Structure 1
Amino acid sequence: MSIKVISVSKNYSNQKALKEVAFSADKGDVIGFLGPNGAGKSTMMKILTGFIKPNSGEVFVNEIDVLKEPLKAQKTIGYLPEHNPLYADMYVREYLQFQALIFKVDKSQIEICIKKVGLEEEAHKKIHQLSKGYQQRVGLAAAILHNPSVLILDEPTTGLDPNQLVEIRELIKELGKEKTVLFSTHIMQEVEAVCNRVIIIKKGEILIDKKLSELKQNNQQTIEVTFDVKVDEPLFKKLPNVITCKNNDGFTWQITFESKEDMRPKIFDFAQENRLKILELNSKNKNLETLFREVTI
């Protein structure tokens, strides 16, 4: 098991940042670590990397006790903090050479990492000359330089343009085939594109920890339909698999079904049979963003 967190709590003065947090992760897991601002994501990541200590609980990375042997654990972890700490007056290659010395890595890895993160055309420049997106790439190159088995990335795509986003997403997916990746983001599409698992945290407590495939297996679907006249709720009992009906403004209804089948054709048939005219019809199926809002608001 690459990561194991057992009943971790952390307080800042009177504020509880983490409350009995527990989860584990294996090789090949790419986990989207989600939560509103102040939920405790960065605190948990800093504890995993040994930068801060919890008030209680246990943390293991690659079966190493992070609290007892932080330096040993850090050798197996690649970490990109939210605020990417770079030496801005260094050249890109110079900075990576410095990192290679710290981790006692063969310098041949520098060019490999530069190519992996797409820095070839910028590697001759000083870091302060780079855009924020390319500075993020430098931080990511440094994080993977020593070939860690666990990657912890705090907002890794901050400042990237749409093309760079796609490239870094693909890189994270590729890295996830042979490593354990835990990364936080506020971009739900990013999680859906990259992750195989989601952890949602709020006020220091984990609310959801599921595989993305499980979240997508929800058979419920909600359809919003507007008719040309008012419709009484009992009439909807003629529709199959109806769970709930909610009237919005007299003419518009939100109808929730328990079915894998697309129920929109059934609503069209229902309208025709009852001599109703449909003015508007929209599918309101849940996605990750909808679920996130439901559990965090």
Structure 2
Amino acid sequence: MSSLSFAYSKRAPVLRDVSFAVERGERVGLVGPNGSGKSTLIRLVADLLQIGDGGIRIAGRPHRDRTSREQLAYIASNDNLPQFLTGVEYIDLLHRLYHHRPDPARLDDLLSRYQLTSRAGDLIEDYSHGMRKKIQLVATLLLDRPLTVIDETLNGVDVDALFEFETDAGALDSSRALLLCSHDFRLLEAVCDRIIVLCHGEIVFDLPMDRLRAGYGSVAALVRHAIDLSRPTAAT
């Protein structure tokens, strides 16, 4: 994306001149305090909001092109799923929308590893919050899109599933990219090659993980420093 700015109605801008790229084979973490513009940015990438200024391209094409949207898999922060479907029916529906057929062996493996095998045939209305998040994750991992965007989806997921996700994220090949928005700093450190910190709608830091660790020690320390830098200076 390049020079991306956005405001809701006549309010103050939520995003100001945001520019960055996520390359194939890269796992990028997006982090920042509440209200920093993270979810708005992700909704713009997913074409759920209309861009104000700037542009977004996916695989070299404008993000609003149908071909571009088919390159993107997006998991929202909520768990609003069709409750009248079973878990496997939801996976099948999602993949039909992408004209994609999931590999049966891999589906069985993911359902087993994320502890959903015994409940995959149950209605989603009977799923817990964590189970809904996990079925979203399994469905999206199976899509194998060039760009996968995850917006706080892993909040509320059990620890075993988080470890499984770390394995799956680490196994992404060089043709795929991940943009992961999360407040779980441990997860970001385990999964990501690079961290972007957003504060007040602007990128404060964009650092590869090795430089981040060398300069700040941890994602938590970097975010704390970014928040301090973005605080208004008191009048004298």
TM range (shorter): 0.7 to 0.9
Could you say which residue in structure 2 is the equivalent of 1:12? Answer: 8
Which secondary structure state, in structure 1, belongs to the residue aligned with residue 171 of structure 2? helix
Conserved in 1, the CA contact under 8 Å of 2:78 and 2:153? no
Distance 1:123 1:19, change over 3 A: same
Distance 1:65 1:114, change over 3 A: farther
Could you say which residue in structure 2 is the equivalent of 1:97? Answer: 92
> How many angstroms does 1:142 deviate by?
2.7
Could you say which residue in structure 1 is the equivalent of 2:225? Answer: 294
Could you say which residue in structure 2 is the equivalent of 1:133? Answer: 130
Structure 1 residues not aligned, in runs of 5+:
219-284
Superimposed CA distance per residue, residues 88-144 of structure 1 (whole angstroms, 9 cap, x where no aligned partner): 2211111112222211122x4366235335332321211122222221111122323
In 1, Cα distance between the equivalents of 2:153 and 2:91? Answer: 18
Runs of 4 or more off by more than 4 Å in structure 1? Answer: none
Pick 1 or 2: higher relative contact order, CA cutoff 8 A, min separation 6. Answer: 2
The reply to whether residue 72 of structure 1 matches residue 67 of structure 2 is: yes
Structure 2 residues not aligned, in runs of 5+:
229-236
Distance 1:142 1:164, change over 3 A: closer
In 2, Cα distance between the equivalents of 1:165 and 1:88? Answer: 24
> How many angstroms does 1:171 deviate by?
1.7
Amino acid at match of 1:22: S
Which secondary structure state, in structure 1, belongs to the residue aligned with residue 18 of structure 2? strand
In 2, Cα distance between the equivalents of 1:54 and 1:63? Answer: 17
Could you say which residue in structure 2 is the equivalent of 1:109? Answer: 103
Distance 1:181 1:109, change over 3 A: same
Distance 1:40 1:113, change over 3 A: farther
Conserved in 1, the CA contact under 8 Å of 2:134 and 2:157? no
In 2, Cα distance between the equivalents of 1:176 and 1:163? Answer: 23
Conserved in 2, the CA contact under 8 Å of 1:49 and 1:74? yes
In 2, Cα distance between the equivalents of 1:142 and 1:180? Answer: 17
Alignment of 1:139-288 (within 5 A): 139-175=136-172, 178-218=175-215, 286-288=217-219
In 1, Cα distance between the equivalents of 2:122 and 2:105? Answer: 15
In 2, Cα distance between the equivalents of 1:144 and 1:286? Answer: 30
Conserved in 1, the CA contact under 8 Å of 2:73 and 2:147? yes
* Greater percentage in strand: 1
In 2, Cα distance between the equivalents of 1:82 and 1:73? Answer: 22
* Greater percentage in helix: 2
Conserved in 2, the CA contact under 8 Å of 1:154 and 1:183? yes
Conserved in 1, the CA contact under 8 Å of 2:27 and 2:179? yes
In 2, Cα distance between the equivalents of 1:109 and 1:45? Answer: 28
Q: How many residue pairs were aligned?
A: 224
Which secondary structure state, in structure 2, belongs to the residue aligned with residue 152 of structure 1? strand
Amino acid at match of 2:69: Q
Conserved in 2, the CA contact under 8 Å of 1:29 and 1:176? no
In 1, Cα distance between the equivalents of 2:172 and 2:128? Answer: 24
Measured on the aligned residues, the alpha-carbon RMSD in Å equals 1.8
